[in-house]
Amino acid sequence: MPRYKITFAYKGTNYCGWQVQPNGTAIQQLIEAVLTQVLQEVIKVKASGRTDAGVHALAQVAHFDTSNLLSSDKILQAMRLMLPDDIFVSSIATVDDSFDAQLSAVKKTYIYLVNYGELRSPFLHDYYWQVGGELNLAAMNQCLQLLVGEHDFTSFTASDAVTKTFNRSLFDVGMKVFDYHQVLHKLLGAFDLTDIAQSNNQLVYPTRTPS
């Protein structure tokens, strides 16, 4: 039975997360519904990991099996046509049946956006955490370095979690600071943001890469 690897992005604002939940609409739910309709058989999709409600993904990976011999190009076209605008499948490829989106994952990258200060953007508010006042960026960056290495994350796991070990390695943790105007200007190039450019507000863009 052919196995397919799919890579996709989504804006998670309107969803309860990746995994199917009884109390909301999930990304997994919509993707499985579309694939089931297109391939004319019940399809179950396994992702490399789960995201919580409201969390976005730039390049989530998942796999599914099907007995339908429809080409990957046809499946891709159908998914792009049938999924809502806030979910986009960038690629589909056939893979060996030994491939497992979760177990084959080597690294994952997480990005956190923090906007600090008085200025807020109605265009970006779904993507950042708003913090009032100033931040001690030097102290924050110093603390972030303590996360590098292997650590036991048992206290962060669900009580019913099933895994061989709760140890995970963080290979790189960093923080980048972007001027508020620079970020908005890239997204809204046609707008006049001179007033914002004269402010001292900035966006903090920390990243971490756990295994």
Catalytic residue numbers read 52
Burial category of 98 from C-beta neighbours within 10 Å (exposed 0-12, middle 13-18, buried 19 and up): exposed
Q: How far apart are CA 80 and CA 86, in angstroms?
A: 11
How many whole angstroms separate alpha carbon 46 and alpha carbon 65? Answer: 10
CB atoms within 10 A of CB 29: 17
Alpha carbon 33 to its chain centroid, in Å, reads 20
